[in-house]
């Protein structure tokens, strides 16, 4: 069993990802900042679309991009105050689940 794990972890397939991992580790702060900025822009676009059309779908999209923005702001704050302890993986998973559920509703719920 141990030999199998070592064989998999030393596999050339994983070596392909090493440059990406190194890049994302080096520029983690900047990548998170870019994601926050993009999510806030999408939040503003969804809010503007809601004001123009007053559709519940756009209201759900405001919620989706709002949660997405909050998640990434918390992740960025977490880097400085409690590296990875406050915003743990299970909490992030709950955020993602709620975000996907709201996105699903925005895409597939029929308007009345």
Give the side-chain half-sphere CA count within 13 A for 31. Answer: 11
Residue 72 in domain? yes
Split into its structural domains, the chain has a count of: 1
pTM of the model: 0.73
Dihedrals phi, psi of 84, to nearest 5 degrees: 85, 0
Directed axis angle between helix 28-53 and helix 56-81, to 10°?
160
* Stretch 10-36: mean pLDDT: 84
Tell me the per-residue pLDDT of 64-109, one tens digit each, with 9 for 90 and over: 999 999 998 888 888 777 776 777 888 889 989 999 999 999 888 8
Residue 102 in domain? yes
Contact 32, 80 (CB under 8 A): no
Q: Which domain holds residue 26?
A: 18-108
Contact 58, 49 (CB under 8 A): yes
Residue 87 in domain? yes
């Amino acid at each position: 069993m141990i030999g199998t794990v070592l064989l998999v972890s030393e596999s050339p397939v994983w070596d392909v990802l090493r440059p990406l991992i190194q890049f994302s580790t080096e520029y983690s702060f900047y990548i998170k900042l870019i994601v926050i900025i993009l999510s806030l822009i999408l939040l503003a676009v969804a809010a503007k679309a809601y004001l123009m059309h007053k559709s519940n779908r756009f209201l759900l999209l405001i919620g989706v991009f709002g949660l997405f923005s909050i998640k990434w702001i918390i992740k960025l704050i977490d880097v400085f105050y409690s590296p990875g302890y406050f915003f743990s993986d299970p909490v992030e998973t709950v955020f993602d689940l709620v975000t996907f559920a709201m996105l699903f509703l925005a895409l597939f719920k029929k308007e009345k």
